[in-house]
Amino acid sequence: MDSVPALELPPYRPPSEAASVLVRVTRGCAWNRCRFCGMYKDLRFSIRGLEEIEADLAMLRAAWPEAHSVFLGDSDSLVHPQLPAIVRAVRRTFPEAERITSYARLHTLWRRPAEFLQELREAGLTRIHAGLESGSQVVLEQVAKGIEPERAQGAVQKALAAGFDLSLYVLSGLGGSTAWEAHARETAAVLAAVPPHFLRLRTLVLLPGTPLFDAWQAGEFEPADPLTRLRETQLLLTELNARLNGLPCTPPAAGEESHARAGRSAPTRHREPADPASREIEICSDHFSNYIWANGEMIYGGINGFLPGDVELILAALDAAIVAARNSHQVQDPASLARAGRMTELYRAGAL
Ligand code: SF4
């Protein structure tokens, strides 16, 4: 009896691709050395053949004939030498798809020729999700990201020049308690130099089995507490806004909030995404890892909106959370719960 071919799916996708058809192009991560990341540590990297992928596409089409978006995984589809042919096959299989998106490593974007990126764009790849994580040389080195800020900036520039929508991830808390200011300031500088369409903030959660978790246990890395993380986000967005508006960077003095309006809740703006030709950046940070509770009440649920248009609302929400965190004794976030060994609570809440 002939065996039925098995459909392979990528194990991870961005939250914004929850409704997308998932197509596995590679397995694992070819780099796999970032010290904070546990996504593919147990998986040997490999590239899937075009025929295998086409067989998957036929099954996916049969299962989801109404699909409006397609996401390509795993961590960095751009390493696949046949990616333009794969994207064309996706486009033929799902001609109605409004977008085809992929994770990509910035280093891969940086080293790929502009012609390759252009071919991908013309084949139908529309959006790239990439982890900047930080714009700080010190932080990037500490976490073995494998790229310098200048090259990361060059990679973003190339993706934008090829016409992709770009979604960049920044990891709050990645500088720990000592490098948070450099992390915030230097990340703002990179983002302002080459503004992406979307900025997605996530917060570092130390996971057992990762080198950064081991560094924390050995006393070599001190995590940022929730209050420090809020101040880091405030500084990042204040500096980013100033740079986008051509203003001098004037970070708030330590211990002060320049926009304090206690009691304001986090803004949620619902309007059309920024015009790609403008310098507006859509901030999306309502991820569970960003949440903060004080005395059992949620005081911060992340922020959403556009920079520079929504800056006052965004900074007001951060100020309110900072005031609440300062005035509370028991402040917790998913990162501190995980460090306390309360991982099951996070799984139950869908954080991991
Ligand atoms: S963060 Fe991305 S590039 Fe780094 S090891 Fe994880 S999947 Fe690979």
Report the nearest-CA residue for atom 6 of ligand 1. Answer: 37
| Phi, then psi, of 104 in degrees rounded to 5 | -150, 145
Q: What pLDDT shows up at residue 346?
A: 60
Distance 135 CA to ligand 1 centre (A): 16
pLDDT tens digits, one per residue of 319-339: 999 999 999 988 999 898 888
Residues 239, 307 contacting (CB under 8 angstroms):
no
pLDDT at 256 over 50: no
Task: Find out whether the beta carbon of 37 lies less than 6 Å from any atom of ligand 1.
Answer: yes
Short-list 225, 257, 232, 278, CA closest to 139: 232
Give the tokens for residue 212: 């950064």
Please give the helix or strand (H or E) that residue 103 lies within, else none: strand 99-104
Please tell me the predicted confidence (pLDDT) of residue 158: 98
Statement: residue 258 has pLDDT above 90? no
Residue 345: pLDDT above 70? no
For residue 105, what are the CA distances in angstroms to 54, 167, 288? 24, 12, 23
| pLDDT tens string 181-224 | 999 999 999 999 999 999 999 999 999 999 999 999 999 999 99
Q: Does the pLDDT value for residue 251 go beyond 60? A: no
Pick from 13, 35, 40, 200 the residue to mutate for probing ligand 1's pocket: most ligand atoms within 8 Å of its CB: 40
Which of 205, 168, 173 has its CA nearest to residue 349?
A: 205
User: What percent of the chain is modeled with pLDDT above 70?
Assistant: 87
Choose between 326 and 268: higher pLDDT: 326
Q: Is the pLDDT of residue 145 over 80?
A: yes
119 to each of 49, 114, 125, how far by Cα in Å? Answer: 19, 9, 9
**Quick check: CB of 29 below 6 Å from ligand 1?**
yes
Task: With H, G, I as helix, E, B as strand and everything else as coil, classify residue 199.
Answer: strand
39 lines ligand 1 (CB under 6 A): yes
Q: Alpha-carbon distance 95 to 77, whole Å?
A: 20
In tens, the pLDDT along 274-300 reads 444 556 899 998 788 999 999 889 999
CA 205 to chain centre: 14
- Contact call for residues 333 and 291 (beta carbons, < 8 A): yes
101 lines ligand 1 (CB under 6 A): no
Do residues 75 and 40 lie in contact, with contact meaning Cβ atoms separated by under 8 Å? yes
pLDDT in tens, 41-79: 999 999 999 999 999 999 999 999 989 999 999 999 999
Decide: 75 in ligand 1 pocket, CB within 6 A. yes
Q: What is the distance in A from the centroid of ligand 1 to the CA of 190?
A: 20
